[in-house]
Amino acid sequence: MAKYIFITGGVVSSLGKGISGASIGKLLQLHGFKVSMIKFDPYINVDPGTMNPYQHGEVFVTIDGAESDLDLGTYERFLDIYTSKANTNTAGDIYQTVINMERRGDYDGATVQVIPHITDEIKKRFAALKDDCDISIIEIGGTVGDIESLPFMEAARQFQLENKKEDIFSIHVTLVPYIAGARELKTKPTQHSVNKLREIGISPDMIICRTEHRLDESLKRKISLFCNVKEDYVIEALDSPSIYYIPEALYRQDVDSLIIERLNIKPKKKFDETWFAKIKAAARFNKKVKIAVVGKYADLKDAYKSIDESLNIAAAELSAKAEVHYLGAEDKNLIEKLKSYNAVLVPGGFGSRGIEGKIESITYARENKIPFLGICLGMQCSVIEVARNLAELKGANSTEFNENTKYPVIKILDEQKNIRYRGSTMRLGNYKSEVKKNTLAYNLYKTVEIEERHRHRYEMNPEFIDILEKAGLFVSAYHKGMLPEIIEMKNHPFFVGVQFHPEFGSRPMKAHPLFKGFIDAALKNAEK
């Protein structure tokens, strides 16, 4: 059985199509269906790996090493699944595949065109996971009417034509804006957006209306009438204090049963409502903890989306609320500001901007026994910090920031230079490592063998391990006994640097052990 739910968006971007899709996926999963979600981004970049996080938010890394859109993180967290390369597609990637085929002569002399060649490739990818699940939810990025998204919409139209009506359900997510002066919600943008979609040949089965105020019956009736969608299928999506409350809000409007009925499928188990209660219970807290994230993109939460989620999820499991603030690493008063926080996290990143500020924050956390978690670049900065300030390796650095440093404590190792994956030299995706017993890392993971996602070029230079360990640092996990994966500091309540990205492994009610340990240490620090 292959069923498909298509999600398109209209009026404006950032309406939360990913969250709507993931919430519907969650409801269907609670009915016992196996759900997968596939994202289609209409931009020309082959993947978001090279895109500025200011524009695109964080790059989410799948276990098989795809650098993808942050919506894949939303899918993984809502559905508690693992996504892969097949779950993320871009126009660039699709065109590249088609052009490569053309160069190979696969089209046998034909003129290669958007229709049918690009649309055929898109359709192939719509169906990529059909054998692995009961329902594929396909999210088409961008907004209806964009030039970029046209081939995707066209492919969706053809796909409808080529499949049974009862196998496809189409959802359009729009905005119903509130005009304060008139004190009125306006349906016109939704009408125009649906008209645009129908011009392309897609009639939505359901309209999800993002709104700041409740949609009354007359408004729903109006949308129904003008958009040719049954009234029950006009769904209100009110702004919500937590994205994890959205599945319940949709459930209360029968979104799941309406879809199940249209797709002509039978739930595989009794619907499990306890998930809603668990989510609400997790939001209760009786203490607060203040966490400083010292990074390059201080004013953009989306750039550290999975870290933010991980901190909140871990805090929730400890009945606490994490107040997470993003501090710019170049802020002149950084250290002064850090004094009002219970813990310091230095996230991953690329390039030299803000490095010295990050290193200074680590000195502050180390000397004052403030819990510290360094992720990827954050870990590399902590190695530089210890090298400079405890091991007396003056001017120690990563060759990413100073190629000629006398003490390259972080560098590109020779074997790293040979890694070629999707055209880059990065270590990407899951790698195993072995955690040493009697370490903080082991106490948290409670297991020797771990597997975590990577996205980096540089590594801790094994030549310096001895001297750094003599200075108080300790390598508590290695990949293949060779590449340092986790470092700790002796005589510190919580000082952990990890070469990988644990933030991609957190799920609601299943906090990642490192984040849980970090928040726990921060809470203990707050009590002092």
Q: Catalytic amino acids? A: 376, 501, 503
Closest C-alpha among 63, 27, 502, 87 to residue 244: 27
CB nearer to ligand GLN: give 125 or 455: 455
* CA 288/CA 395 separation, integer angstroms: 39
Q: Is the peptide bond before 493 cis (omega within 30 degrees of 0)?
A: no
48 scored as a contact of ligand GLN (CB under 6 A): no
75 scored as a contact of ligand GLN (CB under 6 A): no
Q: Residue from 349, 374, 408, 484 that binds ligand GLN (CB under 6 A)?
A: 349
* CA 54/CA 34 separation, integer angstroms: 34
| CB of 472 vs ligand GLN, minimal distance in Å | 23
CB nearer to ligand GLN: give 307 or 313: 307
Query: Footprint of ligand GLN on residues 80-99 (CB under 6 A)?
Result: none
| CB of 420 vs ligand GLN, minimal distance in Å | 15
SS3 239: coil
125 scored as a contact of ligand GLN (CB under 6 A): no
Q: How far does Cα 59 stand from its chain's mean position?
A: 7
Is 40 in contact with 146 (CB distance < 8 Å)?
A: no
Q: Residue from 49, 141, 348, 408 that binds ligand GLN (CB under 6 A)?
A: 348
Closest C-alpha among 121, 105, 124 to residue 113: 121
| CB of 386 vs ligand GLN, minimal distance in Å | 17
Give the interface segment with ligand GLN, choosing from 48-56, 124-132, 452-460, 506-514 (CB under 6 A).
452-460
Query: Footprint of ligand GLN on residues 382-411 (CB under 6 A)?
Result: 400
Residues 6+ apart with CB under 8 A from 485: 431, 433, 452, 477, 478, 479, 498, 499, 500
CB nearer to ligand GLN: give 320 or 465: 465
457 scored as a contact of ligand GLN (CB under 6 A): yes
CB nearer to ligand GLN: give 117 or 456: 456
Q: What does the radius of gyration of the chain's CA atoms come to, in whole angstroms?
A: 25
Residues 6+ apart with CB under 8 A from 284: 319
| CB of 263 vs ligand GLN, minimal distance in Å | 40
Structure tokens given for 138? 């396909």
295 scored as a contact of ligand GLN (CB under 6 A): no
Give me the phi and psi of 504, to 5 degrees please.
Answer: -80, -5
297 scored as a contact of ligand GLN (CB under 6 A): no
The contact pattern for ligand GLN, residues 366-385, with x = CB under 6 A and - = no contact, is: ----------xx--------
354 scored as a contact of ligand GLN (CB under 6 A): no
CB nearer to ligand GLN: give 222 or 427: 427
* CA 172/CA 243 separation, integer angstroms: 19
| CB of 61 vs ligand GLN, minimal distance in Å | 9
CA dihedral 93, 71, 127, 237 (to 10 degrees): -140
Q: What number of chain residues touch ligand GLN (CB under 6 A)? A: 10
Residues 6+ apart with CB under 8 A from 475: 436, 460, 465, 469, 484, 486, 487
CB nearer to ligand GLN: give 329 or 377: 377
70 scored as a contact of ligand GLN (CB under 6 A): no
Give the interface segment with ligand GLN, choosing from 253-261, 302-310, 343-351, 473-481 (CB under 6 A).
343-351
CB nearer to ligand GLN: give 253 or 416: 416
CB nearer to ligand GLN: give 11 or 376: 376
* CA 151/CA 145 separation, integer angstroms: 11
| CB of 85 vs ligand GLN, minimal distance in Å | 19
Question: What residue type is 253 in one-letter code?
Answer: Q
Is 476 in contact with 441 (CB distance < 8 Å)?
A: yes
How far separated are the first and last CA of the chain, in Å rounded?
A: 58
236 scored as a contact of ligand GLN (CB under 6 A): no
Residues in the chain: 528
117 scored as a contact of ligand GLN (CB under 6 A): no
Residues that bind ligand GLN (CB under 6 A): 348-350, 376-377, 400, 455-458
